[in-house]
Amino acid sequence: MADESNQAEGQKISRYGWYALTLVSAAQCMSLLDRQILSILANDIRTDLNIGNAEIGLLYGTVFALFYALFSLPLGRLVDGWIRTRLLAICLTFWSFFAGLSAFASGFALLAISRLGVGIGEGATQPAANSIIFDALPKSRRGLGMAGLAVGLALGLGLSMALGGIVAHEWNLAFPDGSGPLGFSGWQAAFFIAALPGFPLAYLIWKLREPVRGGMDGIVTPPDPAPFRASADLLGSVVPCTNWYYLWRRDAGRDQWLTNLAGLLVILGVAYGLVRWAQGFSPRPPLELWGLQLDAHWMQWGVIAFGAFVVLNLFQSFKLTDRPAYHVILSPSLILLMLVGGLQTAINYGVMGFTPTMLITKFGLSPAETGLQFGLLSAALGVAGPLIAGPLSDWLTKRMGGKGMVWLMLGSLTVSPFCGLWAYSAETVIDFYLRFSLYSIILTLWLPPAYALMLGLVLPRMRGITFSTYMIIQTLLGLGIGPYLVGIVADKNGGDIAGAIMSVNVVAPFIVLLLLVVLVRYRRDEATIIDRARLGGEDI
């Protein structure tokens, strides 16, 4: 009886745990609010700035994705070595400033810079949030913790559309000639107002007590003596050009140099081929950026090539500087889960980036109606899905181990594409909302188990950099490609947004295939974490 009582006590979430979960979930909410609000404002921005769907895809996805992915790496390394609560507070302040800067954009260039700044600041959000939750909650309640973070994301998604649509609509009614404060139009006012809550939230997170790193796992991690130097070195070792200096400084062998240069040539060749394909598929007029005429497709695939080379440099850096992390992170299950997350995120961002535009153009809703109706519906569904998935993940884990969570992901991501095709073929807005509700509930079941599975495959000290590695892969595949592909398909097909949104489901069969491999591999990779870390020289 005493053992059962102690076990139950060890599974309880403390008051500190609940408070920490609330604050980091609120940071997740602000992250999605400031990132996603562009989708509901896209029509007004496109009209004011005279740009197309492909350019909206660049702003919503690619420009943001590059800097979000790149800076998530050094910031993720800082998560593993510095005070996570302070880092998250600083980054929240930084991106809130740049989110507000969007309000002052009168052309593509400043709006691109503001998206760039939001991307940099948000780079620490998910690595820090996940690392804090893993050290603030008992091991048996991490599924619930991941669900709490997913609820924050869902609320941010819903609020971005509701707030953006209503503020823009009401502002334009009140100041139809742009005579309001600071000369803002409706979409500019929406950006400004959405950025404001981030500043007081950053103060509360700054005051939050830092949890003991690894305490919940019984593997307490000693302080990092030089986290900022390690973070700067990681950034330098992955950025093109400076990476060669770090290869030289670290006495990389001939094989490392050949791999790096051959990989760069392959990446550039593939990117060039994709540019030529995109130019033929959906030609776009050049963009004006700081007096230069730039092709949107060159910008898109240049960014993706840059990011792919960063990923190659990252794994080479692991091999030269942190062999335990190299051996642990480069496990089949973990890499395949990262690819699954990236491909599924391409679908998710393609759907959520353009669904508000589809509702406006196909069903004739106003931005305010779209923001209120679809925003609140998305928020409610986004909360319901993780609240089902979190406890369900914990229940399956108790009975089947990690494979139970893999089965949950597999079921969700096998069924969801069919529900999506059914939803986006609806002929009335009410019919769409009813069908979308089922689609969204099923679709959101994958996220909490995916995060718990990935972070359960590494040591506590590696969680920040592991999640940052995942974020760059997920961001490049998902946010960097999904909205752009929907945009060019829509431009090609005369503005058929619903058909363009569903076109990204072409990746669904690959997702299912990868998860089937994970189902076979997961237990083996989970059981060998410590052995692989020791193989790399970790003293455990």
Same-domain status, 286 and 431: no
Q: Which of 447, 437, 442, 446 is nearest to 374 (CA)?
A: 437
Asked if the structure places residue 423 within a domain, the reply is yes
pLDDT band at residue 1 using 50, 70 and 90 as cut-offs:
very low
Containing 293, the helix (H) or strand (E) segment is strand 292-294
- State the average pLDDT over residues 6-11: 48
pLDDT greater at residue 75 or residue 257: 257
pLDDT band at residue 384 using 50, 70 and 90 as cut-offs:
confident
Predicted TM-score (pTM) above 0.85? no
pLDDT band at residue 52 using 50, 70 and 90 as cut-offs:
low
- Assess whether pLDDT exceeds 50 at residue 349: yes
Asked if the structure places residue 458 within a domain, the reply is yes
**Least confident interval from 33-42, 381-390, 432-441, 464-473:** 381-390
- Please tell me the predicted confidence (pLDDT) of residue 205: 93
**Domain range for residue 167?**
2-213+322-535
Last residue of a domain, one of 254, 282, 316: 316
Same-domain status, 393 and 504: yes
Same-domain status, 276 and 390: no
Asked if the structure places residue 224 within a domain, the reply is no
Is-contact 505 343, C-beta < 8 A? Answer: no
Q: HSE, CB side, 13 Å, CA atoms: give it for residue 149.
A: 26
Same-domain status, 412 and 287: no
Same-domain status, 508 and 389: yes
- Assess whether pLDDT exceeds 80 at residue 47: no
Asked if the structure places residue 228 within a domain, the reply is no
Question: How many of the other CB atoms lie within 10 Å of CB of 273?
Answer: 11
Asked if the structure places residue 220 within a domain, the reply is no
Same-domain status, 182 and 244: no
**Least confident interval from 43-47, 74-78, 110-114:** 43-47
Asked if the structure places residue 226 within a domain, the reply is no
pLDDT greater at residue 289 or residue 531: 531
- Assess whether pLDDT exceeds 50 at residue 361: yes
* Domain count across the chain: 2
Asked if the structure places residue 43 within a domain, the reply is yes
Same-domain status, 269 and 354: no
- State the average pLDDT over residues 328-332: 88
Question: How many of the other CB atoms lie within 10 Å of CB of 86?
Answer: 16
- Please tell me the predicted confidence (pLDDT) of residue 55: 65
Asked if the structure places residue 221 within a domain, the reply is no
Last residue of a domain, one of 269, 292, 316: 316
- Assess whether pLDDT exceeds 60 at residue 4: no
Same-domain status, 127 and 36: yes
Could you give the CA distance from residue 237 to residue 483 in angstroms, rounded to a whole number?
A: 29
Exposure string over 216-239, b if 16+ CB within 10 A, otherwise e = beeeebeebeebeebbebbbbbbb
- Please tell me the predicted confidence (pLDDT) of residue 58: 65
Same-domain status, 355 and 305: no
3-class SS of residue 288: strand
Domain containing residue 148: CATH number? 1.20.1250.20
pLDDT band at residue 265 using 50, 70 and 90 as cut-offs:
very high
Structure tokens belonging to residue 391: 């406890």
Containing 524, the helix (H) or strand (E) segment is helix 508-527
pLDDT greater at residue 463 or residue 290: 463
Last residue of a domain, one of 301, 316, 331: 316
- Please tell me the predicted confidence (pLDDT) of residue 6: 42
**Least confident interval from 213-227, 458-472, 497-511, 512-526:** 213-227
**Least confident interval from 155-159, 409-413, 492-496:** 492-496
**For the chain, percent of residues with pLDDT exceeding 70:** 89
Could you give the CA distance from residue 479 to residue 471 in angstroms, rounded to a whole number?
A: 10
Name, of 161-165, 233-237, 459-463, the range with top average pLDDT: 233-237
Same-domain status, 247 and 380: no
- Assess whether pLDDT exceeds 70 at residue 219: no
Same-domain status, 196 and 166: yes
Structure tokens belonging to residue 19: 């408070």
**Least confident interval from 7-16, 29-38, 368-377, 463-472:** 7-16
- State the average pLDDT over residues 407-417: 90
Same-domain status, 298 and 381: no
